[in-house]
């Protein structure tokens, strides 16, 4: 049946992309998830927020995160499969994207550690001093259980959108490194051995240009903890990633790149996360569809499985069609990232096009994941709201995917900004605009050009539905192109 490929993430990747160089890696990892991982991630979600053990019995601060041991096994599985080291070995982000997609089908929270580790390794490899790289980078790229993890901590208590005003962590030079003091309020993967952290060098300019990016290890050179974890946050979902609040107090740190480019480095980091978030959102939506499908095939009402009821069948068809579109959009964004991630300021037009895609994909796929997870719960009827059946988990996860790394508002406004400042929507047409939806595409372009004539406030006021149309038409066009490539038998 034509719905079958939604049941397996590797089958779906084959459906959308044809064969890749990583098919056996993907297959092996999928087999592991089906045999062992599925029940582990269920148990981790069921156990809610892990405990934080702050002190050992001698009174020494340790800040240990108490997951069940199998959590660590599950986590390491992805690192060992190559979600990080393959990117550096093969000089391509493609394996990371594929493995993040596959993992997210089973546990989209778990891909956060992978993603932020990648978002740590990339700027370190790109902007870190040789000595700093020597000391830290290889730890992140290990292929065994001793692999280190990374993390990206930008947001403080006053909010994550307006970093220029809200980053209050101060950095002061100290010997051959810096010392950071401040509180990070949303610190994902808070148990990581390394983090990239936004901070404000003392005496620098106010606003966004006074913020720089630093590398902060978990331990000082003396071996002591370099910062403390105030608490783990009780999130409604993504319990596979410990999110905490971090208290930096004269914490040793290493500057990455020039101070005055700090905000660009931070945005580079965030954009990597947005791509991963987009892939994760699509995989999560696929999972929700797969679960809804299994249920609808086994649930009988009015004498037949409910999947055979016309309205529901139609919903499955539309849903899978749109899933293909969402995937195509996220994949295109990840392809572009793979092209441009080595760029530095000043960026090319290609980079700005990537930025547009990053925002559209983050926005559109998260929204799609939410609506799909909600629908999946409805398909399950009353069972959908019971903790016992766990389909409600997908909605919880999706809400976090939508909010992490910038909400829909943020993505839409940033997309509008890159359009307004760089006119990147023009090159969109070139890239994807000549399929069956070309007319609709032209219509959207016209409306955008008209919008750009209006005053800024008005523009923002009116932009949302148009931004949604842009994402939708791009997704549909990319879907058609991608599927026709598979039909044509090449890639």
Q: Segment 321-340, which members bind its own copies (CB under 8 A)?
A: none
Report 130-159 residues binding its own copies (CB under 8 A).
Answer: 155, 157-159
237 binds its own copies (CB under 8 A): yes
Our CB check for its own copies shows the closer of 136 and 364 to be 364
Q: Find all residues with CB under 8 Å of 358, minimum gap 6, and list them.
A: 271, 274, 275, 278, 333, 336, 337
For the bound state, the minimum distance from the C-beta of residue 338 to its own copies, rounded and expressed in Å, comes to 28
Our CB check for its own copies shows the closer of 51 and 484 to be 51
Q: By CB under 8 A, name the one of 59, 223, 346, 489 that touches its own copies.
A: 59
Among the candidate windows 134-142, 319-327, 462-470, 474-482, which touches its own copies by CB under 8 A? 462-470
Helix axes 94-107, 262-298, angle to 10 degrees: 50
Report 213-232 residues binding its own copies (CB under 8 A).
Answer: 230-231
**Cβ neighbourhood burial of 406 (10 Å; 0-12, 13-18, 19+):** buried
For the bound state, the minimum distance from the C-beta of residue 27 to its own copies, rounded and expressed in Å, comes to 22
Report 295-324 residues binding its own copies (CB under 8 A).
Answer: 295, 298-303, 309-315
Our CB check for its own copies shows the closer of 144 and 388 to be 388
C-alpha dihedral, 273 to 283 to 288 to 436, nearest 10°? 110
Distance CA 406, CA 359 (A): 9
47 binds its own copies (CB under 8 A): yes
CA dihedral (214, 256, 346, 125) positive or negative: negative
Q: Per-residue x/- mask for its own copies, residues 341 to 380, rule CB under 8 A?
A: -----------------------------x---x--xx-x
457 binds its own copies (CB under 8 A): yes
| R_g over Cα of the chain | 22
Among the candidate windows 3-11, 210-218, 332-340, 461-469, which touches its own copies by CB under 8 A? 461-469
Distance CA 228, CA 71 (A): 22
Q: Where are the beta strands (DSSP E) in 240-364?
A: 244-256, 300-301, 304-305
Q: Per-residue x/- mask for its own copies, residues 24 to 43, rule CB under 8 A?
A: ------------x--xx-xx
Residue pair 485/441 in contact by the 8 Å Cβ criterion:
no
15 binds its own copies (CB under 8 A): no
β partners of residue 65: 52
For the bound state, the minimum distance from the C-beta of residue 138 to its own copies, rounded and expressed in Å, comes to 27
Q: By CB under 8 A, name the one of 122, 199, 395, 419 that touches its own copies.
A: 395
Residue pair 218/193 in contact by the 8 Å Cβ criterion:
yes
Distance CA 460, CA 451 (A): 9
C-alpha distances in Å from residue 5, one per residue of 165, 223, 364, 462: 47, 50, 22, 38
Distance CA 317, CA 3 (A): 8
Our CB check for its own copies shows the closer of 336 and 395 to be 395
Among the candidate windows 24-32, 59-67, 434-442, 475-483, which touches its own copies by CB under 8 A? 59-67
Distance CA 110, CA 13 (A): 19
178 binds its own copies (CB under 8 A): no
Our CB check for its own copies shows the closer of 224 and 349 to be 224
51 binds its own copies (CB under 8 A): yes
For the bound state, the minimum distance from the C-beta of residue 348 to its own copies, rounded and expressed in Å, comes to 28
Distance CA 188, CA 113 (A): 8
Report 409-448 residues binding its own copies (CB under 8 A).
Answer: 409, 412-413
Report 66-85 residues binding its own copies (CB under 8 A).
Answer: 66-70
C-alpha distances in Å from residue 138, one per residue of 25, 132, 269, 294, 448: 22, 11, 19, 43, 46
For the bound state, the minimum distance from the C-beta of residue 293 to its own copies, rounded and expressed in Å, comes to 12
186 binds its own copies (CB under 8 A): yes
Q: Which two tokens stand for residue 76?
A: 């390491």
Our CB check for its own copies shows the closer of 337 and 369 to be 369
Distance CA 32, CA 14 (A): 18
253 binds its own copies (CB under 8 A): no
Among the candidate windows 128-136, 257-265, 291-299, 419-427, which touches its own copies by CB under 8 A? 291-299
487 binds its own copies (CB under 8 A): no
């Amino acid at each position: 049946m034509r719905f079958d490929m939604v049941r397996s993430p590797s089958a779906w990747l084959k459906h959308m992309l044809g064969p890749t160089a990583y098919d056996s890696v993907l297959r092996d990892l999928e087999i592991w998830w089906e045999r062992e991982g599925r029940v582990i991630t269920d148990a981790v979600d069921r156990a809610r927020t892990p405990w934080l053990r702050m002190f050992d019995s001698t009174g020494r601060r340790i800040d240990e995160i108490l997951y069940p041991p199998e959590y660590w096994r599950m986590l390491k599985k992805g690192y060992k499969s190559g979600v990080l080291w393959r990117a550096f070995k093969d000089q391509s982000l493609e394996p990371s994207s594929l493995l993040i997609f596959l993992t997210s089908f089973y546990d989209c929270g778990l891909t956060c550690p992978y993603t932020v580790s990648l978002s740590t390794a990339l700027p370190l490899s790109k902007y870190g001093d040789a000595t700093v790289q020597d000391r830290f980078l290889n730890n992140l790229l290990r292929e065994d259980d001793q692999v280190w993890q990374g993390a990206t901590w930008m947001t403080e208590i006053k909010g994550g959108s307006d970093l220029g005003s809200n980053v209050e962590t101060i950095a002061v030079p100290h010997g051959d490194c810096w010392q950071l003091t401040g509180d990070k309020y949303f610190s994902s993967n808070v148990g990581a051995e390394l983090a990239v952290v936004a901070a404000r060098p003392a005496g620098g300019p106010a606003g966004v240009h006074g913020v720089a990016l630093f590398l902060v290890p978990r331990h000082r050179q003396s071996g002591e903890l370099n910062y403390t974890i105030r608490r783990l946050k009780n999130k409604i979902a993504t319990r596979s990633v410990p999110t905490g609040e971090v208290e930096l107090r004269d914490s040793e740190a290493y500057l990455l790149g020039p101070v005055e480019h700090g905000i660009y480095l931070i945005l580079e980091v965030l954009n990597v996360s947005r791509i991963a978030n987009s892939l994760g959102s699509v995989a999560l939506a696929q999972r929700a569809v797969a679960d809804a499908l299994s249920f609808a095939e086994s649930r009988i009402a009015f004498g037949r499985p409910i999947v055979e009821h016309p309205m529901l069948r139609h919903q499955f068809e539309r849903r899978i069609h749109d899933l293909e579109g969402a995937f195509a959009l996220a994949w295109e964004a990840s392809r572009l990232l793979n092209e441009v991630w080595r760029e530095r300021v000043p960026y090319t037009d290609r980079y700005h096009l990537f930025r547009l895609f990053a925002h559209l994909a983050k926005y559109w796929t998260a929204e799609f994941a939410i609506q799909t997870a909600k629908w999946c719960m409805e398909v399950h009827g009353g069972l959908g709201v019971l903790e016992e059946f766990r389909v409600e988990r997908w909605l919880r996860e999706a809400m976090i995917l939508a909010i992490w790394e910038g909400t829909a508002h943020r993505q839409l406004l940033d997309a509008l900004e890159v359009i307004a400042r760089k006119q990147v929507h023009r090159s969109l047409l070139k890239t994807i605009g000549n399929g069956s939806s070309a007319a609709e595409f032209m219509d959207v372009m016209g409306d955008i050009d008209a919008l750009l004539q209006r005053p800024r406030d008005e523009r923002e006021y009116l932009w949302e539905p148009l931004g949604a149309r842009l994402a939708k038409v791009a997704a549909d066009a990319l879907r058609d192109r991608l599927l026709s490539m598979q039909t044509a038998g090449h890639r």
